[in-house]
Structure 1
């Protein structure tokens, strides 16, 4: 069983998180049955953008990276406190731990910014939300910012806005399983 850890910061974007939940879940039920997703936050109850409340499976202190095969990080809204959690040491340490074991890391939109802040994107190519402010912030972490919807470099997937979310989740599934399995799940989901 391939296990995905969905790392959620307060203020995370619900849609961007939900695509990982759905794609991995659809694969479990209708695909090859080989994936499972678990959620994690810095505290047990977190709020998404627009103040929806969620209870996560794990808090950061409980995570053993050895038990997971991939990390997924949705973006979020600054006004809802996204960067307070996303830039916290415990959040960044989880990212670094996944990279230290060369596990797949997939982010959507500004989910690339904590990945950049963690230091693991230094010298690599990546993208983030397609605004000058967010691209500049990513570049300040030593990242070569590429202006395209999805960028993959060194086992790290980044993307530029919510419109890429489904494709990023399916690309993660492809890396965890096979292209034909991911294509089958894509078709079953109607994308």
Structure 2
């Protein structure tokens, strides 16, 4: 039996809640419903500090990642003032995103992580969404990358999932789980978690 490995990339200044839902949803699926899903955290450094100052020790470094070892990529959003875009827009991260996309592997992003996907070039000409409040500034920014911006909570286009605010994070994780193990199994997990 081989686990379906999800690479959870944590950029500096990531939002803790948006990352934790992937760990929890996949943990429930594995622990209580025998789903062969596993989350491996990844960063550009061994310790990544979140938006609100929570240090997280990641499982692996980005330069150690071999895309063939993973079945999906998940990226939580973060805050600009905590340096999120410094790493999320780096060439190493863009290469990672393009690598997963070129193999048509699922890529799930929450909130402004969609901007990292757009920055990598994989959303050009595609439907996607990102943070929609505060005058829609982030959605306008997304549109500048040639993305067809859809103002909906979660937008799935081909292998790519984008969403528009932290509240959508569990839905993104469930959408990714559904792609990996099927709608029926995902529904069981979602119900058990009270969603």
The partner residue of 2:94 within 92, 113, 116 is 92
Within 5 Å, give how 1:91-170 maps onto structure 2: 91-131=93-133, 132-170=136-174
Q: In 1, distance between residues paired with 2:89 and 2:182?
A: 33
Contact 1:45 1:56 in 2 (8 A): yes
1:35 paired residue number: 37
Contact 1:32 1:181 in 2 (8 A): no
Within 5 Å, give how 1:7-22 maps onto structure 2: 7-22=9-24
Q: In 1, distance between residues paired with 2:59 and 2:34?
A: 24
Query: What count of residue pairs does the alignment treat as equivalent?
Result: 191
Q: In 2, distance between residues paired with 1:160 and 1:169?
A: 14
**Alpha-carbon distance, 1:186 to partner:** 0.6
Q: In 2, distance between residues paired with 1:130 and 1:31?
A: 34
Structure 1's consecutive aligned runs of 4 or more residues displaced over 4 angstroms after TM superposition are: none
| Structure 1 runs not aligned, ≥5 long | none
Q: In 2, distance between residues paired with 1:167 and 1:46?
A: 24
2:75 paired residue number: 73
The partner residue of 1:176 within 180, 184, 187 is 180
CA deviations 1:141-169 (Å, max 9, x no partner) are 11100011110112100000011111110
Q: In 2, distance between residues paired with 1:9 and 1:144?
A: 25
Q: What TM-score, normalized by structure 1, do the two folds share? A: 0.98
Q: In 2, distance between residues paired with 1:31 and 1:91?
A: 32
CA deviations 1:25-82 (Å, max 9, x no partner) are 1111012331000001111111001111011011110000000000001000111110
**Alpha-carbon distance, 1:23 to partner:** 0.6
**Alpha-carbon distance, 1:91 to partner:** 1.0
Q: In 2, distance between residues paired with 1:48 and 1:67?
A: 26
Q: What TM-score, normalized by structure 2, do the two folds share? A: 0.96
Contact 2:5 2:71 in 1 (8 A): yes
CA deviations 1:110-138 (Å, max 9, x no partner) are 01000010000000000000032101111
